[in-house]
Chain A
C-alpha cells in the first residue's frame, strides 16, 4: 500500500528552528509537496520538490531524498503565526496526491 509518515505533533520555541520530517512509500513518484493548515482553515501550498536537494523559500526550506523516500520541512526564525499543521503529500504514478495526516506544530513564546 501507499503511506506517508510524519510526526503527529511537535513543539518549538519562538525564534528557533524546527525540522518536520516526512517519509513515504508510494507507487511511483512525481513530486513531494508541503502544505500549511491553520486550525479550522483550508491547506495552503508551501513548497514542491521533484529533484533531490534543498529548495529554499524565505524562512521555509524543503529537502528531498528520493532514494531514501524522505523529505523534511525546515522552518527558521519561528513566529507565533507558524503554529499550524504541516501536511506532506506525494504525487504518485497516477498523478494523484497521497496525503500524510499532518504534523501539528506548537510554538511557545
Chain B
C-alpha cells in the first residue's frame, strides 16, 4: 500500500498556465524526488530534496521549481506550461543510508499541455 500521494492524477491545461503538482508522503522520509518519464523512456530527475529547506536541481532542466517547507510535502510548480511539458511526473521518497536507492513512488501525475 502506497504511503506517497500525488494530485492531480490527470491534468489538461492550456499553454502559459501556472500549475502545481502536489506530493505528500507519510513515511517520514527525508529524501524526496521528482522525475519526468515519457512512455518507454528512462526516468529523468528534475528536482530532489534531502530534507526541509533543501532543494536541488536534477539533470533535466524543466523550468519548474520545488519547495520543501515540511518533511512530508514536496510540491512541483510550473510557472508557464508549454506543450513540451506534456509528460508523466512521478514523485518518490526514500530513507537514507543503504536504503537511499529504494524509492517509493506515487501513482504519478499525467500532464497534457495544449
Contacts and interface: CB of A to CB of B under 8 A. Distances in A.
A and B physically associate: yes
A60 B13 CA distance: 41
| Binding site secondary structure of chain B | loop
Interface string A63-100: 00000000000000000000000010101000111011
Interface string A19-34: 0000000000011010
A87 B101 contact: no
A2 B41 CA distance: 16
A7 interface: no
Contact of B103 (A31, A43, A102, A104): A43
Contacts of B58: 96
Given A42-B90, A42-B108, A97 B103 contact: yes
Contact of A102 (B40, B44, B104, B108): B40
B12 to A, nearest CB: 17
Interface residues of B, number: 19
B42 A100 contact: yes
Contacts of A12: none
A87 B43 contact: yes
A41 B37 CA distance: 11
A33 B108 contact: no
B56 to A, nearest CB: 10
A82 B54 CA distance: 38
Contact of A45 (B44, B103, B106): B103
Nearest to A96: B45
Contact of B105 (A42, A89, A100, A101): A42
Given A42-B92, A97-B45, A100-B42, 5 more contacts: A30-B101, A42-B105, A43-B103, A95-B100, A99-B42
20 contacts: A30-B101, A33-B102, A35-B103, A42-B90, A42-B92, A42-B105, A42-B107, A42-B108, A43-B43, A43-B90, A45-B102, A45-B104, A48-B102, A89-B43, A91-B100, A91-B101, A97-B45, A99-B43, A99-B44, A102-B40
Interface of B: 40-45, 58, 90, 92, 98, 100-108
